[in-house]
Amino acid sequence: MNTSKSMTAGLSHAANHCDSRGFSLIEVMIAMTLGLLLAIGIISLFGNVGRVNQAQNALARLQENGRAAMTRIVDDLRAANGQYCTNSGGAGQLASGSAHSYQDTLRAPMVYAKTLTLPDWGTPLPPTGWSANTPYPLTPRYFLQGYECPANTCTPTIPAAASLPAIGTSNNQRAAAADVLTVRAVRAQGWSITNQVRNGNYLASLDVAVPASNPLNFGNGDLALLADCSSSRIVAGTVLAGSGTATFTPANNFDDTKVAALDATGDARLFNFTRDFRTVTYYLAIQDDPVKPGRKLSSLIRRVNGGAAGIGTTDAIVDGVERLDFRYGVEAMSGATYFLAADEVNNNTLGLTCPPAPPGFDQAATVEAGCLWRAVKSIEVFLLLNTVDDLGVSAEEEKFFYSLSGTTAQTPTATLPSGLPKGSMFRREFRALVTVRNYLP
């Protein structure tokens, strides 16, 4: 009996001893290996999720930048040539249905002011053979001017008076291999002319209504644009503001006593030509990255009125723009439209017939260089944007399509046309076709 109890106690003690002996070295190593693999999997999962989120955020930013850039450009291009109901033009089919002709000409404001200069151009030239120091028509060919810049030079040559930055890779220099485009248009509602004081057929002074919602913006030396939906004129003078009204008196013009009066039957208006006849120029510039010192970005620049203090601005619209190109839809007399680069428009490489010159110009074909710019009815915009930040994407993911470079996927070169390194990022093309709505049939 005692022996049985002793054996039972011994077995119980042996069982307890076995239960408390722990894991063997092999078991511990297996558990650690499995834990390590699990940890690696979790870390890899979080890393992949992080990279996917980073890529998605970058692509979303790229898409947002592309839309913002196109919206800004399209708005400006649609307004090109706008002169407040004094512009027309275009080719139309004759009644016979078998031929076409230009129905009307784009209008040319008469320049009476002695001191006229155009931002991003300089002093405009009167027609060939025009008498010096007399009022002259301002050709609308100045209102839309593109420059084809395939490398480090542009055709036609950008006027020195434009003072655009030199091409280079330093901060605020212009990026190489990117086109430049300048457009001009009236971008204001003006002030309604309520009364004219005439000296025969000429203007002595005029009164305008100045509502509180649209105060005068004339500064010292600003020129006026007078328009009556039939014609327009650019005039120097003085503005005397009163309560709800203002009086404009011509002064310092080629012939102060012979500024043509306006047509009182139309909706005649006064505009500030210096500030409201807006010049907008687009180009690409290299800029220092304010977030990551030492890195440079290629940015889309929108310069208004030459960037002059008080009347102009120079703004970076979006970053990461690698390519900027324009193609111009030129309407021929036949009604056909040809999309040409700026040098082809300027040199008329297709030998197209230019639209009739505006009133006041000699109709000879040799009179006006670059007359085909007056036939541009639409503009196609091409932008190539990147994600700005390096994402460590694969060589295959770096490939992109750009319409002007063919229909096959392109691989970025180590050094981009702008002179910047390519980085490791996604790229996307954005395109828009814009009708110049102030060029009407």
Can you spell out the DSSP letters for 264-312?
TTS--EEEEHHHHEEEEEEEEEEEE-SSSTT-EEEEEEEEEGGG-TTT-
CA angle 335, 337, 341 (to 5 degrees): 150
% of the chain at pLDDT higher than 90:
60
Residue with tokens 């390096």: 390
pLDDT single digits (tens) 184-238: 999 999 999 999 999 998 999 999 999 999 999 999 999 999 988 878 899 999 9
The answer to whether residue 96 scores a pLDDT higher than 50 is no
Residue 365's pLDDT band (boundaries 50, 70, 90)?
very low
Q: Average of pLDDT values for 344-373?
A: 78
Q: How far apart are CA 212 and CA 243, in angstroms?
A: 10
Q: Side chain identity at 430, as an amino acid letter?
A: F
Residue 163 carries which side chain, given as an amino acid letter? S
What is the mean pLDDT of the segment spanning 325-346?
93
Alpha-carbon span 276 to 216, nearest angstrom: 11
Token digits for 166? 């030199």
Average of per-residue pLDDT across 113-123: 94
**Most distant pair of Cα atoms in the chain: their distance:** 148
> What is the arithmetic mean of pLDDT over 253-272?
88
Residue 240 CB partners (closer than 8 Å, separation 6+): 246, 247, 249
Across the range 75-90, mean pLDDT stands at: 78
244 burial type by CB count under 10 A (0-12 exposed, 13-18 middle, 19+ buried): exposed
Q: Among 85, 266, 89, which Cα is nearest to 185's?
A: 85
Cα separation values, 295 from 177, 224, 235, 389, 412, Å: 20, 45, 48, 10, 18
Q: Residue 226: which of 180, 184, 263 has the closest Cα? A: 263
If one counts every other C-beta atom within 10 angstroms of the C-beta of residue 346, the result is: 23
pLDDT at 314: 97
Single pTM value for the model: 0.85
The pLDDT-based confidence of 89 (bands split at 50, 70, 90) is low
3-class secondary-structure state, position 395: helix
Yes or no: say if 240 and 207 are a contact pair by the CB < 8 Å rule. Answer: no
For the cut 60, the answer to whether the pLDDT of residue 90 exceeds it is no
- Give the integer Cα–Cα distance in Å for 86 and 89: 10
In angstroms, the CA 183 to CA 434 distance is: 13
Q: What does DSSP assign to residue 74?
A: H
Report pLDDT for 355: 81
**Do residues 163 and 117 touch, judged by C-beta distance below 8 A?**
no
Identity of the amino acid at 77: L
Give mean pLDDT, residues 53-72.
Answer: 92
Range with the largest mean pLDDT of 3-7, 100-104, 386-390: 386-390
| CA 71/CA 176 separation, integer angstroms | 24
- Written as six digits, the tokens of 224 are 């006026």
156-192: per-residue pLDDT in tens? Answer: 999 999 999 999 999 999 999 999 999 999 999 999 9
Reported as a single tens digit per residue, the pLDDT across 9-53 is 554 555 555 555 677 878 778 878 888 888 787 777 666 666 678
pLDDT score recorded for residue 298: 96
For residue 434, give the H/E element and its range: strand 427-435
Is residue 321 over pLDDT 60? yes
The predicted model gives 322-330 an average pLDDT of 97
Q: Which runs of E-coded beta strand occur in 97-201?
A: 100-104, 110-111, 136-137, 144-147, 180-186, 191-199
Query: Is 104's pLDDT higher than 90?
Result: no
Average pLDDT along the chain: 86
pLDDT in tens, 235-254: 999 999 989 999 999 999 99
How high is the pLDDT of residue 181?
98
Q: pLDDT by residue (tens digit) across 385-426?
A: 999 999 988 999 999 999 999 999 999 999 999 999 999 999
Residue 143 has pLDDT above 60, yes or no: yes
Does the pLDDT of residue 63 top 70, yes or no? yes
Alpha helices by DSSP H, listed for 234-272, are none
Residue whose pair of structure tokens reads 């000879």 in the numeric block: 364
Distance between CA 246 and CA 253 in Å, rounded? 20
Asked if the model's pLDDT at residue 124 lies above 50, the reply is yes
Region 89-113 average pLDDT = 64
pLDDT of 105 higher than 80: no
Q: End-to-end distance of the chain based on CA atoms, in angstroms? A: 125
